[in-house]
Amino acid sequence: MIVTRQQLQNVRYEDPDRRIDVLAKLSEVFGHTHGETERDSRLVSLILTGVRSAEAAAIIALDDHESMRIRSWERRRETAGAFRPSRRLVTDSLGRKQTILHLWEPGAGNAPSENDYTISAEFDWAFCTPVRGNRGQRWGVYVAGQSPVHAGTTGRQTLQADIKFIELLAELIGSVDRRNRLEGDLSVLRQFLSPPIVAALERAGDRESIAADLEPRECDVTVLFCDLRGFSQRSEESSGDLPGLLNRVSGALEIMTQNILQYGGVTGDFLGDASLGFWGWPFASEEAPLNACRAALAIRRAFQKARETPNHPLNDFEMGIGISHGRAVAGKIGTSDRVTVTVFGPVVNLASRLETMTKQLRVPILLDEATAQLARTRFPREEGRTRRLGTVQPFGMETTLQVSELLPSLSEFPELTDEHIARYEQGVDAFTAGRWSEAYRCLHDMPPSDQAQDFLTLRIAQNNRTPPPGWNGIIQLPNK
């Protein structure tokens, strides 16, 4: 007999005080048990407490092969022997996703047919109520007992009230279980994902939706690669205090990851003394390149503040950042024991190469042209500015790159004015066109503190302000 919620709508709960007490203990069961086995055992005990007519109760589950597993069971009388729920009743109930009640009438004198549920002769009735778990999980509550339900209306009303209570209990169990499993998934992901992303995933409401959002897929991403400069040298200098160096490096990595997360990014694995962040996954965003720029400037600002603070553990650390934008594959990968999120593709390699080039071009932050174009047109100048540095061909690469520097706003970095930037880019255009004397004059108008000018003026001076034969405007970088 299928029992619908509509049939139970007008049924009144019996013994409400006892059942409210059972429901109140659910939070303790889920909050203070260690593992599924202990939790299920306590749930079965609660079920027997709440359903006084029940002689036995169990938490049951079906696997993909329709095999029934009794996760936990209990009988009111410990000497009554083992409890064997009807597999057919369980299969039908969980398959239909509805409560199914079976009443056995031993006095009828008829042998059960092939279609009857297998019910032990010691029980008058049994029912199974599904628990709405995560997709792919099929489990529920099984209750059996003895009562004079065939003797009159009172017994049937009691059984209906019991079923209504178990349906309420199953709904609460399922809701709490889904929430706990979801929270478990999110707790792992919080170390990689920014709070807004975690909140958006949380709003999805179930593990299956989250799993779909986190599946590796190809998408537009902006990648930030940040590395500490001179780490190898510091390792040699600090050979007598490697734990101290490790603590300092951990502090530097924390600055990187905190700012990546603060501006909505995703953090990948640490790569030695480097950190990787990316935007555009798991949710696409037009703000991805701009937020990457915001994170980069915040990291630069934090390291600058550390350098200006006497005795700060990071006051002798410098960093380089490369940012690139393009297509990549991003997603959650891992095993049941270890989960991580990652991004891979040419755009990731490019961000790493740009970071390496910051040493040669003598600037803290380098952008590829895709990111620079977006920053030039959409990034508010009160937040940051860009400066074209030239066209380069990195060592070992056949392609050429137009690279730009990401600079703080004028109010934050007044020593380099907008007029300076315009004059510098005028010099870059002259350098590219082969007018090196003009380029040299433009570049020498920069303030002495600006080290970016050294990259081009050194080449101009080495060639006596005359471009080499066959000059095509592309700077060949000698090494990584």
Cα–Cα distance for residue pair 168/24, rounded to 1 Å? 13
Residue 67 burial class via C-beta count within 10 angstroms: exposed 0-12, middle 13-18, buried 19 and up:
exposed
What is the pLDDT, as a whole number, of residue 163?
A: 87
Q: Which helix (H) or strand (E) holds 332?
A: strand 318-334
User: Are 363 and 451 in contact, with CB atoms under 8 Å apart?
Assistant: yes
Cα–Cα distance for residue pair 327/353, rounded to 1 Å? 17
Residue 233 burial class via C-beta count within 10 angstroms: exposed 0-12, middle 13-18, buried 19 and up:
exposed
Q: Helices (DSSP H) in 240-367: which residue ranges?
A: 242-262, 288-307, 346-361
- 364: which 2 tokens? 């803290």
- Which CA distances in Å does 243 have to 239, 247, 306, 356? 9, 6, 20, 26
Q: Helices (DSSP H) in 267-345: which residue ranges?
A: 288-307
Cα–Cα distance for residue pair 55/81, rounded to 1 Å? 12
What is the pLDDT, as a whole number, of residue 12?
A: 75
In 3-state terms, what secondary structure has residue 246? helix
Amino acid at 243: P
Beta-bridge partner residues of 193: 266
User: Are 227 and 248 in contact, with CB atoms under 8 Å apart?
Assistant: no
- CA angle in degrees (0–180, nearest 5) for 144-150-154: 90
Amino acid at 49: T
Cα–Cα distance for residue pair 473/480, rounded to 1 Å? 20
What is the pLDDT, as a whole number, of residue 210?
A: 74
User: Are 357 and 479 in contact, with CB atoms under 8 Å apart?
Assistant: no
Which among 80, 126, 124, 82 has a CA at the least distance from the CA of 102? 126
- 457: which 2 tokens? 């003026």
Query: What is the DSSP secondary structure assignment for residue 466, as one 8-state letter?
Result: -
User: Are 136 and 61 in contact, with CB atoms under 8 Å apart?
Assistant: no
- CA angle in degrees (0–180, nearest 5) for 385-298-357: 65
User: Are 85 and 119 in contact, with CB atoms under 8 Å apart?
Assistant: no
Nearby residues of 121 by Cβ (< 8 Å), 6 or more positions away: 104, 106
What is the pLDDT, as a whole number, of residue 193?
A: 79
Which among 169, 191, 230 has a CA at the least distance from the CA of 332? 191
Cα–Cα distance for residue pair 329/265, rounded to 1 Å? 15
What is the pLDDT, as a whole number, of residue 114?
A: 45
Domains of the chain: 2-180 (3.30.450.40), 217-379 (3.30.70.1230), 384-480 (no CATH)
What is the pLDDT, as a whole number, of residue 359?
A: 93
Q: State the helix-helix crossing angle for 242-262 and 288-307, rounded to 10 degrees.
A: 140
What is the C-alpha radius of gyration for the chain, rounded to an integer number of angstroms? 34
Q: Give the distance between the most distant pair of CA atoms in the chain.
A: 114
Q: Which residue has the tokens 């056949």?
A: 398
Q: Identify whether 468 is preceded by a cis peptide bond (ω within 30 of 0).
A: no
Q: Classify strands 99-103 and 2-3 as parallel, antiparallel or unpaired.
A: antiparallel
Which parts of the chain sit beneath pLDDT 70? 1, 3-7, 9, 105-121, 134-136, 147-155, 184-185, 188, 203-208, 230-242, 270, 334-339, 480
What is the pLDDT, as a whole number, of residue 132?
A: 83
Which among 443, 463, 222, 228 has a CA at the least distance from the CA of 343? 222
What is the pLDDT, as a whole number, of residue 197?
A: 80
How many other CB atoms are found less than 10 A from the CB of residue 175? 13
What is the pLDDT, as a whole number, of residue 112?
A: 45
User: Are 403 and 368 in contact, with CB atoms under 8 Å apart?
Assistant: yes
